[in-house]
C-alpha cells in the first residue's frame, strides 16, 4: 500500500475531491452493508467510475472487490459487476484510448495492479473456480479478466495456473462452450496462457486441443473463415513451435492429414480477401513449423513423409503453379515447399516431376529459376526460389546429377526450343545483374556440394564466348570475370562457387592451377592493402589459394604445394595471409548467414554469404592454417599417413565384404541344416511308426504260433498218427517250414532295424558336429562336404525305409494268409464229424491249461521275487562281512608291524649285550696280564647257572 500512497501523492491532476469521497463512500458501503442489494448497487457504481477514475478505484476498491468474489458467489449479478470493474482497472485498453491526447506520461497501471492482484495466488485460483460457472455474465468477464492478467504479467500468472489443481483443464472447457463469444475469447485466453511455456503447451495438447481447434477451423470455413480461424492458427503455432513432444503428438494423431483441405484454394482471382491472405499465411507457417530445419531430423523426416502420403505436398505444388496467387502467399508457399522437400528423397523426386501448366509443359524447377534470374521479380520472391532450389539439392545426389547434366554438351537441346536449368544458371551467372550473378553462383555451388563426381563432370562444360573464338571452360570463364573487377556481390558469389568447386577435388585444383594467370591474380589481390569493402574479397581469395594448396596432388611441377607456400611467404607473408583468411569469419554478415539455412535478407546489399558456405569456411579455415605452416617433410608424412589410411580402409572394406559373404553362406548352411533336421525328424517318425507296425506283426505272429501249437498238440493226442484232424503230416511240416521262414524274416527285420538305428545315431552326431563347426569357424569348406555326406546318408536311409516298407507289406500278406489258413483249419474240425460238445470240451481244456500255465507263471514270478529279496539280504550280509574282514585285516596288519618292530628291538639289545660281554672279558684279561687279582664270581656264577640249566634239561628229558 505504500506504493499506492506514492501513486496517489504523485497525482497532481486527479479527480475532484468530491469524486474521491464518492469512491470512498462506495467502498465503505461494499464493505459494511448487510443487504445484498446495497452492495450490488455500490459495486455497479464503482464499475461505472472505474473507466474514468481507474487509479482511484483500483487503489481503494480492489481489496473489497476481491472480498465480494469470495463471499457473494451465490449472486451472479454482483460477481459480474466486480469482474468487470477489476477488468477495467487492470486492462490498459481504456487507458491507451484516454491518454492518446494527454500530455502526462503514461504509467503502466495495468502491470502494477496485476502485481497487486496476483500477490495472493488464491485470487487467481478463485478466478479459475469462477470460470466453472455456466452463467454468461460470470464466465465471460472472468475470461476477459484472466486474459488481461496474462497479457500484463504472463510468466507469474502462468505458474500460478500451472500449479492450480485442474487449472488448465477448466480453461480447456471454454473451447467446448456453445456461445461463440466465450469460445472465441477462450482461444485468446489460451493464446496468452501457452505463450513460451512448454509445460502448459503439453498439458493443453493432451487435453485434446488439436482436435477442438481443427474442428473450429473446419466449422469456420478453413482459409475462408474470419478472425476466429486466425486466432486458432496462432494458438496452434504456440502449441507446436519449438515443442518436439507436441509435434510428435500432432503427427501421431493423424492431424497432418486434416491440414490438406486448408490449401484447396482454386484459381479464382476474386476470392483473396485480406483475412484469407492472413489465414493462408498462418497455415503455411504452421506447416513450416512441423518441418523446420531446426527440428530433430527424425521428427522432420517423419512429418515430410506424412505430408507426401496424405497429398499435402501435392496440394502445395498446385498452389505453386496456379495463377492469380498473391505475391506474399506465393513467396511463403515456395518457402513451405522448400522445407517440405529438404533432405527427403521421395519428396525431392516428386518435386522434380512437377510441371507448370504451360504449353509446352515446363518443369517447375525451370519456371522457378526463370523467376530467380529475372531482376524484375520481387527480391523476397527471388530469395524464396533460391531457398527452394537449395532444399531440392540438399543431400540429393540424384538431383545434383540431373542439374549438372543439363550443362553437359551431350544433353543440350540443339533446336533451342526449351530452356534447361543449366542454361538459366549460366545465364544468371554471366548477366549484368549482380544479384542474379550471386544467386546463380550459389545455386550452382549447391549442385556441387559434397559431390566429387559432379565437380569433375562440371569441368567438361564449355562456353562459347563470341563468334570466331574458341570455347572456354566454365571454370576459366568464372576466373576471367573475377579478374575483370566486377561488383563485390558478383565477385563474392564467384569466389564462393570456386571454393566449393575446388574443395575435396584435386582434379579441379589442377585445372584451376593450369591457367598460369590465376595464382598471380590471387596473390596480387591478397597482398594489396585495400579498403574495408575489399577485405572480404581478399579473405575469399586467400581461402581459394589455401584450398589450392591443401587439395593439391602435386601433379603440376610449377605449382606444387611447397612452391605455392614459398610464393606466399615471399609475396604475402604467412602471418599476413592468415590474417586475410580470418576476414571471412569476422565479417558482420557471416554469423547471420550461419544461423539458418534460409537466405533471409532485408535488402539485396546484405546478400553476401550462403549458409552452406559458412560451414565450408568453418571446416577449412583451421586445416588451411596448419597446411601453410607445415614443412615439406610433414607434408610427406601426412601423405604417407593418408595412403596408409586408404590402404587400411581398403583392407577393412575387403574384409567386411568377405565377412558379409561368409555370413550369407553361413545363413544358407543353417537353413540347409534346419531342413535336414526336419527331414531327419520326419524319418525318425516314420521309423517309429514302422517299428510299431513290426511289433504288431510280432504279436500277431506269436498269437498265431500259440494257436498252431495248441492245434498240433490236440491233433497229436486224438489222431492215429496217419491223419491229424483231417490235416496231413506233409501240411504240418510245410506250416512249420513257413514258421521258420517267418522267424528268419523277423531276425532279418531286427538286424535291419538295428542298422537303421545306428544310421540315425550317426546322422545325429554328424549334424551336431556340423553345427559346432559352423559356430566355431565362419563357413569352412568342409561344411559343404558334410552336407553332401548327410544328403547321401539320407538318400540311403530313404531307400532302406522303402525296402523295409515293402518287406513289412509282404509280411502282412503272409500273416493274413496264415490267419486264413488257421480259420480254415478251425472250420475243418466240424467237417470231420466232431460234435460241438467235443469242441467246447477242447476249448475248456485249453482254457484250463492256459489258466494253469498263468498260475504257474505267477508262482514262478513270486519265487523269483522272493529269491531276489533273499539275494539282496545275502548281499547285504556279505557286504557287512566284507567290511568286518577289512577292519580285522587292517588291525592284523597293524599288529604284524608292531611284532616286527619289537623283534628288531630285541635283536639290537642282544647285539649290545654281546658287545658288552666281549669288552668285559678283554678288560679282565688285561687286568690278569697286569697282575691284578680278578674275582671269578661272575664266571662261576655264570657257570653254575649254566649247570643248573643243563640239569633242568636232563630232568625234563627223563620225565
For 296-324, how does the pLDDT look when each residue is reduced to its tens digit (9 = 90+)?
999 999 999 999 999 999 999 999 998 88
CA distance 363 to 767: 63
Give the mean pLDDT of the chain. 81
Distance CA 653, CA 676 (A): 34
Task: Give the CA distances from residue 616 to residues 510, 596, 621, 714, 812, in Å, rounded to whole numbers and listed in that order.
Answer: 20, 15, 8, 114, 89
Which 3 state secondary structure label does DSSP give 472? strand
Question: Cell numbers of 560, please?
Answer: 606444387
Residue 150 binned pLDDT confidence (cut-offs 50, 70, 90): very high
Q: Which residues pair with 724 in a beta bridge?
A: 727
Q: Report which DSSP code applies to 105.
A: P
Percent of the chain with pLDDT over 70: 75
User: Of 51-60, 359-368, 643-652, 834-843, where does mean pLDDT reach its minimum?
Assistant: 834-843
Query: Of 386-400, 527-541, 911-925, which gets the smallest average pLDDT?
Result: 911-925
Nearest to 806 by CA among 693, 677, 959: 693
pLDDT score for 468: 67
Q: What angle do CA 187, 193, 198 make, to 5 degrees?
A: 120
Q: Are strands 472-473 and 462-463 parallel, antiparallel or unpaired?
A: antiparallel
> How much is the pLDDT for 760?
62
Q: Is the pLDDT of residue 788 over 70?
A: no
Q: Please tell me the least confidently modeled range out of 93-102, 545-554, 694-703, 808-817.
A: 93-102
Q: What is the mean pLDDT of residues 261-277?
A: 78
Among 176-190, 654-668, 743-757, 794-808, the minimum mean pLDDT is found in: 794-808
Arithmetic mean of pLDDT, 16-34: 85
* Angle, in degrees to the nearest 10, between helices 397-405 and 379-393: 120
Q: In the chain, what is the straight-line distance between the N-terminal and C-terminal CA atoms, in Å? A: 153
Across 83-94, average pLDDT: 87
The answer to whether residues 683 and 798 touch, using CB atoms and an 8 Å cutoff, is yes
φ, ψ for residue 931, nearest 5 deg = 95, 5
Is the preceding peptide bond at 540 cis, omega within 30 degrees of 0?
Answer: no
Give dist(CA 745, CA 815) in Å, integer. 12
In tens, the pLDDT along 394-433 reads 999 999 999 999 998 765 554 445 788 999 999 999 899 9
Distance of CA 841 to the CA centre of its chain: 89
pLDDT, tens digit, 9 for 90 and up, residues 233-244: 999 999 999 999
Question: Would you give the DSSP letter of residue 727?
Answer: B
Residue-level pLDDT at 808: 60
Question: DSSP readout, 500-528?
Answer: HHHTT-HHHHHHHHHSTTHHHHHHHHHHS
Q: Are 389 and 443 in contact (CB under 8 A)?
A: yes
DSSP string, 93-107: HHHHHHGGG--SPP-
* % of residues, the chain, pLDDT over 90: 49
Say whether pLDDT at 710 is over 90: no
Q: Which CATH class is domain 208-353?
A: mainly alpha
Instruction: State the pLDDT at residue 845.
Output: 62
Confidence of residue 789 (pLDDT cuts 50, 70, 90): low
Report pLDDT for 855.
74
d(Cα 403, Cα 429) in Å, to the nearest integer?
A: 15
As a three-state string, the secondary structure of 273-287 is CHHHHHHHHHHHHHH
Residue 3 — φ and ψ, nearest 5°? -60, -40
Query: How far is 724 from 711, CA to CA, in rounded Å?
Result: 9
Q: Grid coordinates 496424405 are at which residue? A: 310
pLDDT, tens only, 317-328? 999 998 888 999
Which numeric CATH code is attached to 402-409+419-630?
A: 1.25.10.10
Torsional sign, CA 319, 321, 322, 325: positive
Name the strand (E) or helix (H) holding 363: strand 362-363
| Higher local confidence (pLDDT), 831 or 757 | 757
Q: Provide mean pLDDT across the span 154-165.
A: 93
Answer whether residue 582 shows pLDDT above 70: yes
The secondary structure of the chain in percent helix, strand, coil, rounded to multiples of 5, reads: 80, 0, 20
- Angstrom distances, CA of residue 56 to CA of 9, 27, 48, 118, 814: 11, 11, 13, 19, 126
Contact 291, 284 (CB under 8 A): no
- Check: CB of residue 576 under 8 Å from CB of residue 560: no
Detail the DSSP E strand segments found in 583-715.
none
CB 387 within 8 A of CB 337: no
pLDDT on residue 933: 67
Q: Which residues contact 453 (CB under 8 A, 6 or more apart)?
A: 397, 401
pLDDT, one tens digit per residue, over 874-899 is 777 777 777 778 787 887 888 888 77
> Domain limits of the chain?
208-353, 402-409+419-630
**DSSP 8-state secondary structure symbol assigned to residue 856:** H
Q: Three cell numbers at 377?
A: 521479380
Q: Contact 753/692 with Cβ under 8 angstroms? A: no
Determine contact, residues 169/207, Cβ cutoff 8 Å: yes
Give the length of the chain.
959
Decide if 208-353 and 402-409+419-630 have a common fold. yes
Name every residue whose Cβ is closer than 8 Å to that of residue 487 and which is 6 or more positions away in sequence.
Answer: 434, 437
Q: Is the pTM above the cut of 0.95?
A: no
Nearest 5°: the CA angle 461, 464, 469 is: 125
Rounded Cα distance between 149 and 657, Å, is 68
How far is residue 118's CA from residue 153's CA, in Å, rounded to a whole number? 9
Beta bridge partners of residue 473, listed in sequence order: 462
Residue keyed to cell 554469404: 609
d(CA 658, CA 653): 9
pLDDT at 937: 47
Total Cβ atoms within 10 A of residue 313: 26
The CA distance from 268 to 173, in Å, is 39
Model confidence at 957: pLDDT above 70 = no
Strands 355-356 and 472-473: unpaired
Contacts with 866 (C-beta within 8 Å, 6 or more apart), sequence order:
none
Per-residue pLDDT tens over the stretch 361-394: 899 999 999 999 999 999 999 999 999 999 999 9
Written as one string, the DSSP assignment of 175-241 is GG-SSHHHHHHHHHHHHHHHTT-HHHHHHHHHTTHHHHHHHHHHHTTGGG--HHHHHHHHHHHHHHT
pLDDT tens-digit map of 208-221: 999 999 999 999 99
pLDDT at position 574 over 60? yes
Amino acid at each position: 500500500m505504500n506504493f499506492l500512497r506514492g501513486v496517489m501523492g504523485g497525482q497532481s491532476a486527479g479527480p475532484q475531491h468530491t469524486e474521491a469521497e464518492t469512491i470512498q463512500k462506495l467502498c465503505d458501503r461494499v464493505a459494511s452493508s448487510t443487504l445484498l442489494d446495497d452492495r450490488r448497487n455500490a459495486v455497479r457504481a464503482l464499475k461505472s467510475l472505474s473507466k474514468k477514475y481507474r487509479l482511484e478505484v483500483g487503489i481503494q476498491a480492489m481489496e473489497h472487490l476481491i472480498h465480494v468474489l469470495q463471499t457473494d458467489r451465490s449472486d451472479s449479478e454482483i460477481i459480474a459487476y466486480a469482474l468487470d470493474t477489476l477488468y477495467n482497472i487492470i486492462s490498459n485498453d481504456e487507458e491507451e484510448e484516454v491518454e492518446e491526447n494527454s500530455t502526462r506520461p503514461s504509467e503502466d497501471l495495468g502491470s502494477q495492479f496485476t502485481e497487486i492482484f496476483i500477490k495472493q495466488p488464491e485470487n487467481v485460483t478463485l478466478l479459475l473456480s469462477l470460470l466453472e460457472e455456466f452463467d454468461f455474465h460470470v464466465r465471460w468477464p472472468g475470461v476477459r479478466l484472466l486474459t488481461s492478467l496474462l497479457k500484463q504479467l504472463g510468466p507469474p500468472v502462468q505458474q500460478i495456473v500451472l500449479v492450480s489443481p485442474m487449472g488448465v483443464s477448466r480453461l480447456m472447457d471454454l473451447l467446448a462452450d456453445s456461445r461463440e463469444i466465450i469460445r472465441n475469447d477462450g482461444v485468446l485466453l489460451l493464446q496468452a496462457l501457452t505463450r513460451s511455456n512448454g509445460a502448459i503447451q503439453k498439458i493443453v495438447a493432451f487435453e485434446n486441443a488439436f482436435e477442438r481447434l481443427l474442428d473450429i477451423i473446419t466449422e469456420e470455413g478453413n482459409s475462408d473463415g474470419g478472425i476466429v480461424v486466425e486466432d486458432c492458427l496462432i494458438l496452434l503455432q504456440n502449441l507446436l513451435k519449438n515443442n518436439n513432444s507436441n509435434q510428435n503428438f500432432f503427427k501421431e494423431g493423424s492431424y497432418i492429414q486434416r491440414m490438406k483441405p486448408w490449401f484447396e484454394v482454386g484459381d479464382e482471382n476474386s476470392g483473396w480477401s485480406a483475412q484469407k491472405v492472413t489465414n493462408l499465411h498462418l497455415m503455411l507457417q504452421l506447416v513450416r513449423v512441423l518441418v523446420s530445419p531446426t527440428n530433430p531430423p527424425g521428427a522432420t523426416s517423419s512429418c515430410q513423409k506424412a505430408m507426401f502420403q496424405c497429398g499435402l505436398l501435392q496440394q502445395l505444388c498446385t498452389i505453386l503453379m496456379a495463377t492469380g496467387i498473391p505475391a506474399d502467399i506465393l513467396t511463403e508457399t515456395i518457402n513451405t515447399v522448400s522445407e517440405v522437400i529438404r533432405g527427403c528423397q521421395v519428396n525431392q523426386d516428386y518435386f522434380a516431376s512437377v510441371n507448370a501448366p504451360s504449353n509446352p509443359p515446363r518443369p517447375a524447377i525451370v519456371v522457378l529459376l526463370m523467376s530467380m534470374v529475372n531482376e524484375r521479380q520481387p527480391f523476397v520472391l527471388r530469395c524464396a526460389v533460391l531457398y527452394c532450389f537449395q532444399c531440392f539439392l540438399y543431400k540429393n545426389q540424384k538431383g545434383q546429377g540431373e542439374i549438372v547434366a543439363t550443362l553437359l554438351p551431350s544433353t543440350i537441346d540443339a533446336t533451342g526450343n526449351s530452356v534447361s536449368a543449366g542454361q538459366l544458371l549460366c545465364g544468371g551467372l554471366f548477366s549484368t545483374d549482380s544479384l542474379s550473378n550471386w544467386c546463380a553462383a550459389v545455386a550452382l555451388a549447391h549442385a556441387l556440394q559434397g559431390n566429387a563426381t559432379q565437380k569433375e563432370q562440371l569441368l567438361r562444360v564449355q562456353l562459347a564466348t563470341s563468334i570466331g573464338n574458341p570455347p572456354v571452360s566454365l571454370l576459366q570463364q568464372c576466373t576471367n570475370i573475377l579478374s575483370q573487377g566486377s561488383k563485390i556481390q558478383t565477385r563474392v558469389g564467384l569466389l564462393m562457387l570456386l571454393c566449393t568447386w575446388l574443395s575435396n577435388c584435386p582434379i579441379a585444383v589442377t585445372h584451376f592451377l593450369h591457367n598460369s594467370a590465376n595464382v598471380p591474380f590471387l596473390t596480387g589481390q591478397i597482398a594489396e592493402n585495400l579498403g574495408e569493402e575489399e577485405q572480404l574479397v581478399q579473405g575469399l581469395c586467400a581461402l581459394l589459394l589455401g584450398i589450392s594448396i591443401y587439395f593439391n596432388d602435386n601433379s603440376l611441377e610449377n605449382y606444387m604445394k611447397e612452391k605455392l607456400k614459398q610464393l606466399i611467404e615471399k609475396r604475402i607473408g604467412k602471418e599476413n595471409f592468415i590474417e586475410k583468411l580470418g576476414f571471412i569469419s569476422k565479417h558482420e554478415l557471416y554469423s547471420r548467414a550461419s544461423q539458418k539455412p534460409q537466405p533471409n535478407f532485408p535488402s539485396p546489399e546484405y546478400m553476401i554469404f550462403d549458409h552452406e558456405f559458412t560451414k565450408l569456411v568453418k571446416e577449412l579455415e583451421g586445416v588451411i592454417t596448419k597446411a601453410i605452416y607445415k614443412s615439406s617433410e610433414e607434408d610427406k608424412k601426412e601423405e604417407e599417413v593418408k595412403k596408409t589410411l586408404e590402404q587400411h580402409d581398403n583392407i577393412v572394406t575387403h574384409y567386411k565384404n568377405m565377412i558379409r559373404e561368409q555370413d550369407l553362406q553361413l545363413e544358407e548352411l543353417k537353413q540347409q541344416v534346419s531342413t535336414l533336421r526336419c527331414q531327419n525328424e520326419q524319418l525318425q517318425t516314420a521309423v517309429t511308426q514302422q517299428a510299431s507296425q513290426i511289433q504288431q506283426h510280432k504279436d500277431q505272429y506269436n498269437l498265431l504260433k500259440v494257436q498252431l501249437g495248441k492245434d498240433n498238440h490236440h491233433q497229436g493226442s486224438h489222431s492215429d498218427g496217419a491223419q491229424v484232424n483231417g490235416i496231413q503230416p506233409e501240411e504240418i511240416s510245410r506250416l512249420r517250414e513257413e514258421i521258420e521262414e517267418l522267424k528268419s524274416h523277423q531276425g532279418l527285420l531286427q538286424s535291419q532295424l538295428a542298422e537303421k538305428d545306428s544310421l540315425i545315431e550317426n546322422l545325429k552326431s554328424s549334424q551336431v558336429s556340423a553345427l559346432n563347426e559352423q559356430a566355431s569357424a565362419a563357413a569352412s569348406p568342409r561344411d559343404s562336404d558334410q552336407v553332401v555326406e548327410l544328403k547321401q546318408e539320407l538318400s540311403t536311409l530313404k531307400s532302406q525305409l522303402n525296402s523295409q516298407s515293402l518287406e513289412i507289406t509282404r509280411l502282412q500278406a503272409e500273416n493274413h494268409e496264415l490267419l486264413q489258413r488257421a480259420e480254415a483249419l478251425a472250420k475243418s474240425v466240424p467237417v470231420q464229424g466232431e460234435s460241438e460238445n467235443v469242441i467246447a470240451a477242447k476249448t475248456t481244456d485249453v482254457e484250463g491249461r492256459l489258466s494253469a500255465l498263468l498260475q504257474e507263471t505267477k508262482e514262478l514270478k513270486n519265487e523269483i521275487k522272493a529269491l531276489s529279496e533273499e539275494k539282496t539280504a545275502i548281499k547285504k550280509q556279505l557286504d557287512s562281512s566284507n567290511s568286518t574282514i577289512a577292519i580285522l585285516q587292517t588291525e592284523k596288519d597293524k599288529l604284524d608291524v608292531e611284532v616286527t618292530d619289537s623283534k628288531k628291538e630285541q635283536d639290537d639289545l642282544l647285539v649290545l649285550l654281546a658287545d658288552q660281554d666281549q669288552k668285559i672279558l678283554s678288560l679282565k684279561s688285561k687286568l690278569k696280564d697286569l697282575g691284578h687279582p680278578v674275582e671269578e664270581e661272575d664266571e662261576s656264577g655264570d657257570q653254575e647257572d649254566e649247570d643248573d640249566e643243563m640239569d633242568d634239561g636232563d630232568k625234563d628229558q627223563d620225565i
